[in-house]
């Protein structure tokens, strides 16, 4: 596959000061982001946070109002044709021809890329999304999750170098969702970059890094592990039947200090640590008051009310 114009760029995605306005409504507010090649990058946020808008800007479906965007070293607007040979895009809605079969849909999008071994490749992607047995049925007879699978197959058909997936696992059963992520990890191990939007918190752990979005802003952008450290924890120290509870924001750092206060009291019988879930941490972030949201890098240090 041709990779013209993109060899020099180290990052798969490089966005700086990106803004997108729909009339007077600002859907993206000064977003900056770098995604490395082979990385799985997650976009987490509620509906209307700006995830889909960001993905559409990256695939060149939307023109940014301000800022610079480079995808695989190419400008998604000025070098759209070069870029589109190398990316796979799965929109939030299935965007399929419902009166056609999965095979016909995948074939049609595959033909855009002039693949030599198209029929064999169609077999492979339909096998992967577990739809070989229904490959000739009309898509309108499918459930929402099955349509998502067809849509994913369409995005994978030309073995793209960068996959931009807008909620790929919505409506997909947990077993298949796990298979999707297993495959995404294999793709990433082979150098494919993935940008995946989701509102499923547990999926964040499949990502190398996650950005949490709200109202067109990145509230935080970090590894899932580091995001966990932003949560609160409750440390309960038991001395027989007596219990002392300490609320902390970072138990890993604060636990030694708390224990020192007890002077290694031999009467301590049990130490319990109850952490926030990632879901609670993210919900805390996306429910933070408007006044406390500041753009870009500062937004990482949001203070909770």
What's the rounded Cα separation, in Å, for the pair 2 and 13?
18
Question: Is the CB of residue 38 less than 8 Å from the CB of residue 144?
Answer: no
Residues 154-183 that bind another protein (CB under 8 A): 154
Main-chain phi, psi angles of 105, to 5 degrees: -60, -50
Q: Which is nearer to another protein, 114 or 256 (CB)?
A: 114
Q: Give 3-state DSSP helix, strand, coil % of the chain, rounded to 5.
A: 35, 25, 35
Spell out the residues 6+ positions from residue 145 whose beta carbon is closer than 8 angstroms to its own: 170, 171, 172, 173, 176
- Minimum separation from the CB atom of position 74 to another protein (A): 13
Cα distance between the two ends of the chain: 51
Residues 119-138 that bind another protein (CB under 8 A): 138
Spell out the residues 6+ positions from residue 134 whose beta carbon is closer than 8 angstroms to its own: 102, 142, 146
- The size of the interface with another protein (CB under 8 A), counted in residues, is 29
- Minimum separation from the CB atom of position 296 to another protein (A): 25
- Minimum separation from the CB atom of position 139 to another protein (A): 10
Residues 248-287 that bind another protein (CB under 8 A): none
Q: Which is nearer to another protein, 166 or 203 (CB)?
A: 166
- Minimum separation from the CB atom of position 32 to another protein (A): 22
What's the rounded Cα separation, in Å, for the pair 231 and 225?
11
What's the rounded Cα separation, in Å, for the pair 71 and 28?
17
Residues 55-84 that bind another protein (CB under 8 A): 59-63, 77, 80-81, 84
Q: Which is nearer to another protein, 26 or 275 (CB)?
A: 26
Residues 92-121 that bind another protein (CB under 8 A): 93, 95-100, 104, 108-109, 111-114
Residues that bind another protein (CB under 8 A): 59-63, 77, 80-81, 84-85, 87, 89, 91, 93, 95-100, 104, 108-109, 111-114, 138, 154
């Amino acid at each position: 596959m041709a990779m013209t114009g993109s060899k020099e760029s180290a990052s798969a995605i490089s966005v700086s000061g990106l803004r997108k306005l729909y009339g007077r409504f600002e859907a993206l507010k000064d977003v900056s982001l770098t995604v490395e090649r082979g990385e799985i990058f997650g976009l987490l946020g509620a509906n209307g946070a700006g995830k889909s808008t960001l993905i559409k800007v990256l695939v060149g479906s939307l023109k940014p109002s301000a800022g610079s965007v480079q995808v695989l070293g190419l400008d998604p607007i000025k070098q759209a044709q070069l870029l589109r040979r190398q990316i796979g895009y799965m929109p939030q809605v299935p965007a399929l021809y419902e009166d056609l079969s999965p095979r016909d849909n995948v074939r049609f999008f595959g033909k855009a890329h002039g693949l030599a071994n198209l029929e064999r490749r169609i077999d492979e992607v339909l096998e992967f999304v577990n739809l070989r047995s229904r490959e000739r049925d009309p898509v309108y007879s499918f459930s929402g999750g099955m349509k998502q699978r067809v849509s994913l197959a369409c995005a994978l058909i030309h073995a793209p170098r960068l996959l931009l997936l807008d909620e790929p696992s919505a409506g997909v059963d947990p077993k298949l969702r796990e298979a999707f992520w297993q495959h995404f990890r294999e793709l990433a191990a082979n150098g494919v970059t993935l940008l995946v939007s989701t509102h499923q918190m547990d999926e964040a752990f499949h990502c190398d890094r996650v950005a949490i979005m709200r109202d067109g802003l990145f509230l935080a952008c970090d590894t899932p592990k580091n995001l966990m450290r932003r949560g609160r924890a409750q440390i309960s120290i038991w001395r027989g039947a007596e219990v002392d509870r300490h609320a902390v924001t970072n138990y890993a750092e604060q636990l030694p200090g708390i224990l020192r206060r007890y002077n290694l009291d031999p009467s301590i019988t049990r130490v319990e640590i109850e952490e926030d879930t990632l879901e609670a941490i993210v919900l805390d972030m996306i429910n933070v008051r408007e006044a406390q949201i500041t753009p870009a890098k500062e937004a990482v240090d949001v203070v909770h009310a």
